[in-house]
Amino acid sequence: MEWQREWKPLALMVVVFLAVYHLPVGIPRFDNAIQEALELVRWYAREHVLLCLIPAFFIAGAIAVFVSQASVLKYLGAGANKVLAYGVASVSGTVLAVCSCTVLPLFAGIYRMGAGLGPAAAFLYAGPAINVLAIVLTARVLGAEMGIARAVAAIAFSIVIGLAMHWIFRKEEQEKQLAQAAQPQVESSRPLWQNALFFGAMIGILVFANWGGGEGGGFWSLVAAYRWWLTSLLALLLGIMLMFWFGLPKGQVLLAGAPALVLALVFPSQPTLAFIAGFIGLSLLLGRREDENGTWFKESWDFAKQILPLLLLGVLVAGLLLGRPGQEGLIPSEWVSRAVGDNSLGANFFASLVGAFMYFATLTEIPILQGLIGNGMHKGPALALLLAGPALSLPNMLVIRSLIGTLKTVIFIALVVVMATISGLLYGALF
Amino acid sequence: MEIKVCGPDCAKCHETERVVREALDEAGVTAQVVKVSDFNEIAKLGVFTTPAVVIDGQIKCSGKTPTKKEVMAWIGG
């Protein structure tokens, strides 16, 4: 036998066998953790997939297709205005970093051929935290407050980190020979205001369909009472835009919207049915086309295909280890509350450091954090973990090191950990 | 003809490579397809966003997976 090649499957087999052999079935904590994992997955499937993730995938897909990346990259190129470059780098993650595999190549590009180390570092820090899907799901699962805090802190601190990196290595930056990156020329097929209204309508559908909280009266509950009317109105507007601005055949758009309308009239108490029918109609309308509308569907589908399996796995693992909010999984709540249960410097630092080294697949940081908060994690360290987590992981540190060298990488990591700690402390103290 | 498919090991990059290879097959064109996954190499080619397709040093598309039709047009099939 070729031991040099066969030792890997053998080792794997032994590990799996030992794990299964000692499987702690019947021990209450383990059985309970399995139950928690399944309950959590069901809760996500019922509460977050249909109304939240599906529209978010369509929005992310539309951003990838209809927002001109070239017009954003222009501000991050070699000849770009330096002050502007920091601002653009810190917010462009919303448009550019919808897929986690685009963050590192863009970082390399901005560093080597574009605006330089500072903006590149700012982009690397903010990008993963402020992509549309991340903000939407954070706000939905962990609360609007946390979603906004995540976005605002990521943007603000990315500029600080970028400037610090630039200042520390300012001599090198001056000597660097810049190669000009080729800028792809993309012609825009419709004016900016039309695109803005189009995205506004889609984001509005997402926001109103998920509008919660009917209690307490006032503006919030008023909107909650009429949320499906608002959603329908925006869906209607979206249909009209697709007909007149996106060049889709009018008959087909009407046909695609008809089942949703019928379901809404026949089952007014089940608005989710009409909502799903609307998205199926949209998918059928877009899916078979070859033009940019077809690409829109393809991009959305790619996001769903890429993110959903990982998220399912992440939710299962989070449920297994931490349980649902208020319940325990494999890890005792006491450990969590002892390590990160208050808003101390130590707790924030610990959360930042762990977040920096740990690998989170796209969006899985959210169920994990939800579990941790449910087990007594304080809001401050939670934000710290959320900021340091997706920006860095051990595998991507190694890639970053190969791009910018050991010293710069170490300083970048240190800055991220320090900034995340400070943001956590501030947030924990204020809210 | 040398075709470089740039991108780290991500789903879209594999998809791009598959599309390029299928387009070559269908068009009956022979070309050397190279997968570039090192970020430094990618940056040197002048590519900002991946996945990208570079044919004989010219960036044909970047930041998205091309369709088979587009690739056919580039390779003149």
Regarding whether A349 and A334 lie in a shared domain, the answer is yes
Q: Is B18 on the interface with A (CB under 8 A)?
A: no
Task: Indicate if the pLDDT at residue A208 is higher than 80.
Answer: yes
> Measuring CA to CA, which residue among A139, A134, A167 is closest to residue A303?
A134
| Domain edge (last residue) among A241, A272, A307 | A307
Task: Name residue, tokens 């046909």.
Answer: A255
| Domain edge (last residue) among A307, A324, A346 | A307
Is residue B17 within 8 A of residue B34, CB to CB? The reply is: no
Instruction: Kindly name the residue from B1, B8, B10, B56 that is annotated as catalytic.
Output: B10
> Measuring CA to CA, which residue among A412, A329, A420 is closest to residue A370?
A329
A332: three-class secondary structure by DSSP? coil
Is residue B29 within 8 A of residue B38, CB to CB? The reply is: no
| Domain edge (last residue) among A284, A307, A330 | A307
Instruction: Kindly name the residue from B13, B52, B53, B54 that is annotated as catalytic.
Output: B13
Cβ-based contacts of A182 with chain B (< 8 Å): 46-47, 59
Regarding whether A384 and A337 lie in a shared domain, the answer is yes
Q: How confident is the model at residue A136 (pLDDT cuts 50, 70, 90)?
A: confident
CATH number of domain containing B42: 3.40.30.10
Is residue A348 within 8 A of residue A61, CB to CB? The reply is: no
Q: What percent of chain A has a predicted confidence (pLDDT) above 70?
A: 94
Regarding whether A360 and A347 lie in a shared domain, the answer is yes
Regarding whether A93 and A194 lie in a shared domain, the answer is no
Q: Is A295 on the interface with B (CB under 8 A)?
A: yes
A144: three-class secondary structure by DSSP? helix
Regarding whether A215 and A282 lie in a shared domain, the answer is yes
Regarding whether A123 and A159 lie in a shared domain, the answer is yes
- Residue B18 structural domain: 2-75
Regarding whether A204 and A281 lie in a shared domain, the answer is yes
Query: Does A424 fall in a domain?
Result: yes
Please state, in angstroms and rounded to a whole number, the distance separating the CA atoms of residues B29 and B21: 10
Regarding whether A232 and A86 lie in a shared domain, the answer is no
Do the Cβ atoms of A73 and B49 come within 8 Å? Answer: yes
Query: Does A377 fall in a domain?
Result: yes
Task: Indicate if the pLDDT at residue A101 is higher than 70.
Answer: no
Regarding whether A267 and A242 lie in a shared domain, the answer is yes
> Measuring CA to CA, which residue among A345, A431, A417 is closest to residue A387?
A417
Residue range A375-421, pLDDT digits in tens: 889 999 999 998 888 888 888 888 889 888 899 999 999 999 999 99
- Residue A141 structural domain: 69-174+311-430
Closest B-chain CA to A304: B11
Do the Cβ atoms of B40 and A302 come within 8 Å? Answer: no
ipTM: 0.73
Query: Does A8 fall in a domain?
Result: no
Query: Does A373 fall in a domain?
Result: yes
Regarding whether A200 and A53 lie in a shared domain, the answer is yes
Q: How confident is the model at residue A238 (pLDDT cuts 50, 70, 90)?
A: very high
Tell me the HSE value of A137 on the side-chain side, using a 13 A CA sphere.
29
Is the pTM here over 0.95, yes or no? no
Cβ-based contacts of A399 with chain B (< 8 Å): 39
Res A425: pLDDT:
93
Do the Cβ atoms of A101 and B43 come within 8 Å? Answer: no
Number of domains making up chain B = 1
Q: Is B71 on the interface with A (CB under 8 A)?
A: no
Query: Does A332 fall in a domain?
Result: yes
Res A195: pLDDT:
86
Residue type, A390: P
Summarize the confidence of residues A71-94 as an average pLDDT: 81
**Long-range CB contacts for residues A399-404, cutoff 8 Å, separation at least 24:** A399/A104, A399/B39, A400/A104, A400/A107, A400/A124, A402/B39, A402/B40, A403/A107, A403/A108, A403/A111, A403/A112, A403/B39, A403/B40, A404/A111, A404/A117
Q: Is B59 on the interface with A (CB under 8 A)?
A: yes
Q: Where are the alpha helices (DSSP H) in A245-344?
A: 250-266, 271-287, 292-322, 333-340
Query: Does A16 fall in a domain?
Result: no
Number of domains making up chain A = 2
CB proximity list for A238: less than 8 A, separation 6 or greater = A198, A201, A202, A205
Task: Indicate if the pLDDT at residue A185 is higher than 60.
Answer: no
